[in-house]
Amino acid sequence: MNSFDVSMLLSGQYHDWLVSGFALSIKLTLITLVIALPLALLVAVLRLAPLALLRAVGVVFVEAIRNVPLLAHMLFWYFGAPEVLPESLKAWLYERDVEAASAVIALVLYTAAYMSEDIRSGIRSIPKEQMEASRALGFSFLGAMRLVILPQALRVTVPPLIGQTLSLWKNTSIAMVIGVAELMYQAQQVESASFRGFESFAFATGAYLMISLVITGASAWYHHHHPVRSA
């Protein structure tokens, strides 16, 4: 085809589309992260809870989500799940940005399932005698978790959590199947409107790479400044 036209990436309508897709991808990542982290922590604690029923809830959540592809989650939360809502609520929801909302739900659950496993590993890396000692000193299970175990465990967990954030950033691209106008969606739009596929996907690739490198850099920085201490 023709030569690489950088100017269309720097200004004009196609530039605007790509930038808006980029901004939406970042927004999806941040919103998902903010909701998924506490949820992941909750699930991790559930899986280590003294009650068998609570542990079972945690196991079911993690396994049900991790064993289904993200693409299927997206399609389910967009085409399937909202259909069981009552008519009035459905109409209210569908007038809004149900595409982005469904994408966030799918990404939150998917990311939380993986993050909870990382957090659980972190907690298990703290010798179990610490929990036993805390309980012997009169702490409740939650008290011991909050004051003794988690502060140490979360420190160990930060590098894998940054890794999950990197996956999350890349996973936002799947939202395009349910019509969310994120970066990959916009890159395709630009391609079909202008036949400038090379330029638009170069922009998308560059953008994913840039943010991914920033996330990787954050991981390296953390590792350097907060090395894992042996417990």
Partner 1 sequence: MMSKRLMLLVTGALALVPLSSAHADQLQDIKKKGELVCGVLGTDEPFSFIQNPASRAIVGYDVDLCNAVAKSLGVKTTLKQLAVSARIPELQQGRVDLLAASLTHNKEREALIDFSLSTFITGQKVMVKKQSGITRLDQLAGKKVLTVKGSTMEQSIKKAVPTAVIVSFDNSPQAFLALQQGKGVAYVNDETSLIDDASKLGPVAKDYEILPQNLSTEHFALGLKKGESAFREQVNKVLRDLEASGEAEKLFTRWFGPATKMKFPNRPFKLETDKID
174 within 8 A of 77, measured Cβ to Cβ: no
Does position 159 interact with partner 1 (CB under 8 A)? The reply is no
Does position 13 interact with partner 1 (CB under 8 A)? The reply is no
Tell which one of 82, 159, 160, 163 touches partner 1 (CB under 8 A).
82
Residue 93 C-beta: closest distance to partner 1, Å: 9
* Separation CA 122–CA 192 (nearest Å): 46
Residue 87 C-beta: closest distance to partner 1, Å: 10
* Separation CA 173–CA 179 (nearest Å): 11
28 within 8 A of 184, measured Cβ to Cβ: no
* Separation CA 9–CA 6 (nearest Å): 5
Does position 177 interact with partner 1 (CB under 8 A)? The reply is yes
Closer CB to partner 1, residue 91 or residue 136?
91
Helix, strand and coil percent figures for the chain, each rounded to 5: 85, 0, 15
* Separation CA 150–CA 84 (nearest Å): 38
Closer CB to partner 1, residue 37 or residue 175?
175
Does position 193 interact with partner 1 (CB under 8 A)? The reply is yes
In single-letter form, the type of residue at position 186 comes to Q
Tokens of 44: 């991790």
Site string for partner 1, 86-125 (x = CB under 8 A): ----xx--x---xx--------------------------
Does position 4 interact with partner 1 (CB under 8 A)? The reply is no
Tell which one of 38, 151, 179, 206 touches partner 1 (CB under 8 A).
179
The footprint of partner 1 (CB under 8 A) covers 79, 82-83, 90-91, 94, 98-99, 177-179, 185, 188-189, 191-193
